[in-house]
Chains A and B, each alone.
Chain A
Amino acid sequence: DAGVIQSPRHEVTEMGQEVTLRCKPISGHDYLFWYRQTMMRGLELLIYFNNNVPIDDSGMPEDRFSAKMPNASFSTLKIQPSEPRDSAVYFCASSLAVSNTEAFFGQGTRLTVV
């Protein structure tokens, strides 16, 4: 398996534009997580899915953020409209189970909103 695949690796967009980040989890993993990493706040869990169903989105900062998982092999994180304070590295991770198991991370998408 190629691991968790995220795209794009880098995204630069203007404030107000819509941004869509994509993630392909490891095949067979039932759990998918979206994290955001910034210098100020570290790694924050935004939302996670179990079998394509969103379980906890309490970490999603605002209504401007939305995430979907239409099937077991694909998830998106959308920001609309984007703001400069959304600039961060966004990570997707997947795992076999929700408890007592390691998470496998993608390489991340570095988002810059200007």
Chain B
Amino acid sequence: SQQGEEDPQALSIQEGENATMNCSYKTSINNLQWYRQNSGRGLVHLILIRSNEREKHSGRLRVTLDTSKKSSSLLITASRAADTASYFCATEDNAGNMLTFGGGTRLMVKP
């Protein structure tokens, strides 16, 4: 079963705009990770945020984590056409279970 659920399922924006994707999960976690998947390719790790962290940055990416709401958001600033991909959140719970992935958000950035 999927632990994380992304919202929205699909997002279409213009190049230069910001893209925000949300992830909700159900159980207590050790960490939450975001991955990107280009069409026909494997998943690529973007960022890991631990349960005791609230915000993390990596380049144009900003991830927040609210453990009280069991939710996370991924913000991509100044989007580019090359950011077009599916984005997945994955949670590692503190019951020893491995990464569980959500259904993903399909992002399209139009040039």
Given A102-B45, A105-B42, A105-B43, A42-B99 contact (CB < 8 Å): no
Q: What is the total number of residues of chain B having a CB less than 8 Å from a CB of chain A?
A: 21
* Cα A102 to Cα B44 with chains together (Å): 9
Once the chains bind, are B42 and A106 in contact (CB under 8 Å)?
yes
Instruction: Name the interface residues of B92-109: CB closer than 8 Å to any CB of A.
Output: 92, 98-104
* Cα A35 to Cα B2 with chains together (Å): 13
Once the chains bind, are A99 and B92 in contact (CB under 8 Å)?
yes
Once the chains bind, are A105 and B44 in contact (CB under 8 Å)?
yes
* Cα A91 to Cα B27 with chains together (Å): 25
- Encode A25-55 as 1/0 by CB contact (under 8 A) with B: 0000000010100000011010010000000
* Contact surface of B with A, Cβ cutoff 8 Å: 2, 30-31, 33, 35, 41-45, 48, 50, 88, 92, 98-104
